[in-house]
Amino acid sequence: MDLQLQNKIIIVTGGARGIGKGIATLLAREGATAVIVSRTEAESLETVKEIEMFGGKAFQVEADLISPDACERAVNEVILKFGRIDGLVNNAGENDGVGLQSGNYEKFMLSLHKNLVHYYMVTHFALPELIKSRGSILNISSKTADTGQGGTSAYAAANGGRNALTREWAVELLPHGIRVNAIAVAECWTPLYERWIKTVANPEEKLETICNHIPLGKRMTTVEEIANTAAFLLSPVSSHTTGQVIYVDGGYVHLDRALS
């Protein structure tokens, strides 16, 4: 299937590693230019190099998106370089464990800036170009908005906000023909997840327990599976899909717990 992404300019925040890197790489394989916005320049340059090695097109912008000014500068740099924006993937963030008991006002607000506020700010600054191109927006979200996790109030709240913004923007941007969707991620094997699993007691046993609770295949979701859905939702092929939160999770969130 031709996803009709050739020569599209698509921003991927947090595109230097993990899910963001997977999405950026697949977009480039589909002929788009993946614009990686990340605070880790060295990793971004390495990802750009990997993409260019197979003939793909990529560009990197260094920015710590916790700052609204940095969000604006990053978007402006993309516009200056390419003259347009055809798509946006809001992905950057991390489960930072700011809980109700373990956190405080400062930690909670900082986490919201790291995980939610920049979704709004980058989209706000990119919107004039997205309106011109009738582009697509994709928000990466998490199961924590639905299931809770314990000890991660800020991250759960941020993901609830990501889902709500997805539907709100889908409504607001209907007159402009801009589609807005989200992918909710549950148990996906990324470098960050691998680093976390190594911190728990008996990591192999813990991983097996987690996998046994994933109905489809008793295995983790792969980055590639997230990227495949992302590319589809960003592409004109999904032309009548908007305001949706798609769960690429092997049935983890919604299927009957008796299955696991």
Taking residues 30-42, report their average pLDDT.
Answer: 96
C-alpha Rg value of the chain to the nearest Å = 18
What whole-number percentage of the chain has pLDDT above 90? 88
Examine the pLDDT at 34 and tell me if it is beyond 80: yes
Please determine, for residue 39, whether its predicted confidence score (pLDDT) is greater than 90. yes
Contacts of 107 (CB under 8 A, 6+ apart): 98, 154
- Residue 191, pLDDT above cutoff 90: no
To the question of pTM greater than 0.85 for the whole model, the response is yes
Please compute the mean of the pLDDT values over residues 178-183 and round it to a whole number: 98
Tally of helices (H runs) and strands (E runs) in the chain: 10, 7
User: What is the model's pLDDT at position 154?
Assistant: 96
In this structure, what are the phi and psi dihedrals at residue 34, rounded to the nearest 5 degrees? -90, 115
Domains of the chain, CATH where assigned: 9-186+223-248 (3.40.50.720), 188-220 (no CATH)
- The predicted pLDDT at position 27 comes to 98
Least confident of 45-49, 150-154, 190-194, 214-218: 190-194
Q: Which residues contact 147 (CB under 8 A, 6 or more apart)?
A: 253
Residues 6+ apart with CB under 8 A from 63: 37, 38, 39, 70, 71, 73, 74
Query: So what's the pLDDT on residue 156?
Result: 97
Q: Evaluate if residue 172 carries a pLDDT over 80.
A: yes
Average pLDDT over residues 234-258: 95
- Cα first-last separation, the chain: 34
Name the one residue in this structure whose structure tokens are 């607001």.
172
Reported as a single tens digit per residue, the pLDDT across 96-108 is 889 999 999 999 9
What is the C-alpha separation between 188 and 95, in angstroms, rounded?
13
Q: How confident is the model at residue 258 (pLDDT cuts 50, 70, 90)?
A: confident
**pLDDT score recorded for residue 197:** 86
Find the catalytic residue in 105, 119, 155, 193: 155
Is 105 an active-site residue?
no
* Percentage of the residues of the chain whose pLDDT score is greater than 70: 100
Q: What is the pLDDT of residue 77?
A: 98
Please tell me the number of Cα atoms within 13 Å of 174 on its side-chain side: 9
Phi and psi angles of residue 116, each rounded to the nearest 5 degrees, phi first = -135, -50
- Please, which pLDDT band fits residue 112 given cuts at 50, 70 and 90? very high
For position 192, what pLDDT does the model report? 83
Q: What is the mean pLDDT of residues 177-182?
A: 98
Angle at the Cα of 98 from the Cα atoms of 158 and 109, rounded to 5 degrees: 60
pLDDT band at 1 (very low <50, low <70, confident <90, very high): confident
